Every structure is written in C-alpha cells, then in structure tokens.
Amino acid sequence: MRHGFTCVIAAAVLVAAPMAAAAQVSASPRTVDGRPNLQGIWQVLNTAAWDIQDHPARLGVPAGQGVVDRGVRTIYTDGTPHPEGSINWWMGDSRGRWEGNTLVVDVVHFTDQTWFDRAGNFHSDGLHLVERFTPAGPDHINYEVTVEDPAVFTRPWKMSMPFYRRKEANVRLLEYDPGLLLDQEQAERERRTTR
Amino acid sequence: MNNLYLGLAIALAVTASSPRAAGQQPAAPATVGGCPAEPLAFHNCALEKAKTFQPPRTATGKPNLQGYYRNRLAQAFSVEGVSGSEPLVNDRIMPWTLAPPMIVDPPDRKIPYQPWAAPIGRIGENYSKYLDPRTACGSGGVPRLALQDPNQILQPSTDDYVLWLFEDHHVHRVISMNGRPPLGDAIKMTNGDSRGRWEGNTLVIDVTNLNGYTWFDDSGNFYTNAAHLVERLTLIDPDTIHYEVTVEDRQGYTRA
C-alpha cells in the first residue's frame, strides 16, 4: 500500500509541474497601468563586452560565441517623436512604445565615438537602433537589437541575448565614480613612486 | 545628543521655460513660491505653507513631485554665505557674489565644525590646496547636486523607487522607497545610499554610506564619511519644492 501511495504523489507532481511553469510566464509582474514591469537589476551572461562576434580565448578574454543574429538612459514613452537633428549624443535619443508586451525603443542621434565592445566594432553618427525588450517570465527578458548604419554596414543586422534578473537578496547597483577613482589611483601611484 | 546638525534650506523651483542665454544664471528673485527669497525667511514661510498646501497626486495617491527643477535660492560659492569682507568678492577673474547664508540652523548660520575641521572647510585648506572634486568629473554629491544642478524628479508608478536625475555627467540617484535593508558600513559612495519614505506630503530621504570626498560648495565646506543626511522635499505650491537637509556628522561637527 505504501508503494501505491507514493505513486499517486509522484503523478500529481508530474501533472502540476507544467502548469506551474505556464503560470509563471503569465504571472510576469505588471505596473499599475498594466504594462509589463521590467524594473529590476538585470545582467547578461555572455562575453559580448569583449567582442560581439565569435572569438577564441585570448589572455584575459574568455572565448565566446557572438551575439550577432548597455550610464543612464532616459527612454521617453509618452509618444513624443525624436527631436530634429543633427544632434550628437553619447547615449542617443530614445523613444519607446509598447507592442503588446514588448517595449520597442527607437534610438537615433548618436556620436561616432562609441564602440559596441572592447574589440573595437564601431558605427557612424548615422547609427539607428531598434531595441526590443520582451518579458519571458518573471526573471528573464529577451533583448534584441537591430543595428542599421548604411555608412558602415552593408545591411541591417541583429544581436539577441537574454537578460537575467539578479536574484541575490538586497541586490543593488552600486556606484562607479571615475573622477574619484582616478584621483585615488593617482594618489596611490605617487605613494609608490620613490623620488 | 552631542553631535551637531546643520540645516540647509533652499527652494527647488520648476525650471521656467522663458528663453535665457545658455549657462546664464537666473537673476536672484525677490520671492520664490510666494515666500521671501532670503533662505531663513523662506524656510520659515515654507514650513507654514506646507501645512495647508495640497499637492497634486500621482495615480497611486502619492504627492507628485515629478518635473524639471533648479534651485532658485542658493549660490554656488558658500553655504555660509558671502559677505562684503570676503576678499574673493573682489576677485578679478571670477568675483564671488554677495549672498546670505543658506544655513538655517544653528542660529549663527555657520557650519559647527570641530576645531580640526574649520581651517580645512571654511575657505581653508580645501579651497587653497586642493582641486574642487567636481573639476575631475566627480559627482557633486549630496546635497551639492540639488544646490547647483538642473535636475529632474521621476516617480515610477510602482512606487518602489524615486529617481532623481541631474544634468551633470549622467549623475543620478536611485532612492529606494521599499524599505530595503541598509548597506554594510564598509561600502562608501560619493552619493551614498538613499532610502526614502513619505511623511505626510513630504518625501524624506535618509542618506548613509557617504565617502566624505564631496563638498557643499565651491569654497570647500565639507562633511566626513561619518555623516548621515536627512533630506526633506515638500511642495509648497504647484511649482516649488521646499528642500531641507539636516547633516549629522559626529566626526566633523560638534554641538557648540
């Protein structure tokens, strides 16, 4: 009898599991106005910071597969258009809209001074991005960006990667103050230098 | 309580859309938000107005502070004010402007420095020997950002954060409204760790974990990394926020 009893429990668990997974997706958090709530601390788990393309390992750089086929950004979601150019902003001008559950962000008015990665992949000031943030459950966002820049690329191309929600208790973004850090580095160097 | 605090009050007024030459400071107004522009008189008048003014509300019923602001009372030179006896008033390159103190408490309207700290902060060693931390692209820190920088307050509809964005170097403050636990003491930051709450119509922000590298003003007035700040932001009319910050610093200040 004990054996039979255990089987019933196991079956119930098997049935319940897929339902729980489905419920998890639909239970993605919402803001009070009903939009997907994308707030949180997110991180990618890939090597795109070194190189957005396939790359072998180098000293200090882990090998990684490409992601081809991140200051403060204000993304306006009030339906206003891009201001008239030409404007050269480090972060561009971002205008967002909702397509169903997806936040679609159109970005123009860049400088030509930024890179995609540490490998030096670059763009002109004519760069046009369309970013798509789609919730894929409470702790994942599928991020996709279409890159268009006729002055540098022969055709539009895409990168795609999941964002993972940081789940540590009390996780938060801390500060990176380059002015202060440069001062400290300089003071440290002077302390080490014998005169 | 043997540690002294310092109360600073200013008005953050909605940025007027009237055309103005870029970089030009607005002329000192006679009144701000219906209160006198002298900081102490403004402070007392604003406390009275706040008792009766009903601020606009967000969709979730919180006081709606959102908008673009800049300070209308403070000058950048010194929170202790600039008097006619100050030689820098006659500086040939960048003369300082005469101004009343922004400090509203203690009554002598001076920072209550401990003996070691006064010769550093009061147009002292900081001013004569060191570069202003802002010149190396550092953040102005708290409260200097609010005193000197055009800024924007955002209140996401989830009510778990208030965002305070500043024009300077993408500097932003994320003010947690969800009662998250404080950080450990070993983590020190230029803008500190900000945790907010609503007290009636007032946004009250506790700031801890400060690294003590920032100044209040151009003259080098400062607090140490032991400082604890309490900021209070209250709308006193649809376009004016009364901003008050109390600075406690056992290491740098003392009750006279």
Give the separation between CA B179 and CA A58, rounded to whole angstroms. Answer: 44
Chain A positions contacting chain B at CB under 8 Å are 31-33, 37, 39, 71-72, 74, 91, 170, 172-175, 177-180, 182-183
> Which residue of chain A comes nearest to B212, CA vs CA?
A180
Give A46's pLDDT tier (boundaries 50, 70, 90).
confident
CA distances from B188 to A97, A175, B126, B182, B236 (A): 38, 9, 21, 12, 34
- Looking at the predicted structure, is the pLDDT value of residue A8 above 80? no
User: Are the C-beta atoms of B229 and B210 separated by less than 8 Å?
Assistant: yes
Mean pLDDT to the nearest integer, B127-131: 91
Q: Where are the alpha helices (DSSP H) in A69-177?
A: none
Looking at beta carbons, which residues of chain A come within 8 Å of B165?
72, 74
Give the model's pLDDT for residue A6. Answer: 36
Local confidence band at B16 (pLDDT 50, 70, 90 cut-offs): very low
- Looking at residue A23, its pLDDT comes to 40
Tokens of A107: 């970005």
- Identify the bridge partners of residue A76 per DSSP, sorted by sequence position: A95
Task: Tell me the pLDDT tens digit for each residue of B39-70.
Answer: 999 999 999 999 999 999 999 999 999 999 99
Confidence of residue A42 (pLDDT cuts 50, 70, 90): confident
Compute the distance between CA of residue A67 and CA of residue B169 in angstroms, rounded to an integer: 30
Which of the four pLDDT bands, split at 50, 70 and 90, describes residue A17? Answer: very low
Region A54-71 average pLDDT: 76
Measured in angstroms, the CA of A177 and the nearest CA of chain B are apart by: 6
Statement: residue B17 has pLDDT above 60: no
- For the stretch B132-174, pLDDT in tens is 888 877 788 999 999 989 999 999 988 999 999 998 877 899 9
The per-residue pLDDT for range A77-118, each reduced to its tens digit, is 999 999 998 999 999 999 999 999 999 999 999 999 999 998
Q: Which of A91, A173, A179 sits opposite B138 (nearest CB)?
A: A179
pLDDT at B11: 65
pLDDT at residue B62 in the model: 97
Residues of B in contact with A39 (CB under 8 A): 156, 158, 160-161
Quote the minimal CA–CA distance from A138 to chain B in Å. Answer: 16
* Nearest C-alpha in B relative to A30: B158
Q: Which residue of B156, B160, B165 is in closest CB contact with A72?
A: B165
Mean pLDDT of B5-27: 52
Q: Residue B206 in contact with residue B230, Cβ under 8 Å?
A: yes
Confidence of residue B198 (pLDDT cuts 50, 70, 90): very high
Spatial separation of the C-alpha atoms in residues A143 and A134, rounded to whole Å: 7
Tell me, what's the pLDDT at B63? 97
Helix, strand or coil, per DSSP, at residue B47:
helix
Most B CBs within 10 A among A177, A182, A184, A185, hence the mutation to make, goes to A177
Residue B255 clears pLDDT 90, i.e. is over it: no
Q: Give chain B's mean pLDDT.
A: 87
Contacts of A172 in chain B (CB under 8 A): 174, 176, 180, 183
Q: Which amino acid is at A73?
A: R
Q: For B230, what's the count of Cα atoms within 13 Å in the CB-facing half-sphere?
A: 11
- Reply yes or no on whether the pLDDT at A15 is more than 70: no
Length, in residues, of chain B:
256
pTM of the model: 0.80
- The answer, for B119 touching chain A at a CB cutoff of 8 Å, is no
pLDDT, residue A19, reads 40
Instruction: Please report the pLDDT score of residue B64 as a whole number.
Output: 97
**Pairwise pLDDT comparison (A2 vs B73), residue with the higher score:** B73
Nearest CA-CA partner of B166 in B230, B96, B214, B198? B214
Q: Which is higher by pLDDT, B168 or A142?
A: A142
> What's at A61, amino acid-wise?
V
Residue A13's pLDDT is what? 36
Distance CA A110, CA A124 (A): 8
Token code pair at residue B106: 């203690």
Please state, for a pLDDT cut of 90, what percent of chain B lies above it. Answer: 63
Output A64 or B18, whichever has higher pLDDT: A64
Q: Is the pLDDT of residue B179 over 90?
A: no
DSSP, collapsed to helix, strand or coil, labels residue A93 as strand
Closest chain B residue to A37, measured at CA: B158
Expressed in angstroms, the distance from the first to the final Cα of chain A is 86
Closest partner residue to B189 (CB to CB) among A71, A170, A174 is A174
What is the rounded average pLDDT for all residues in chain A? 81
Exposed (0-12), middle (13-18) or buried (19+): which is A76, by Cβ within 10 Å? middle
Q: Do B139 and A37 touch (CB under 8 A)?
A: no
**What was the pLDDT predicted at A69?**
61
Closest CA to B240 of B170, B172, B153, B174: B153
Q: Are the CB atoms for A94 and A74 separated by under 8 Å?
A: yes
Section B241-249 average pLDDT: 94
> With contacts defined as CB-CB under 8 Å, which chain B residues touch A179?
133-134, 136-139
Which of B134, B137, B191 is nearest residue A175 as measured by Cβ atoms?
B191
User: Nearest CA of chain A to the CA of B136: how many Å?
Assistant: 5
Distance from CA of A78 to the nearest CA of B (A): 14
Of the listed ranges A12-21, B72-81, B111-120, the one predicted with least confidence? A12-21
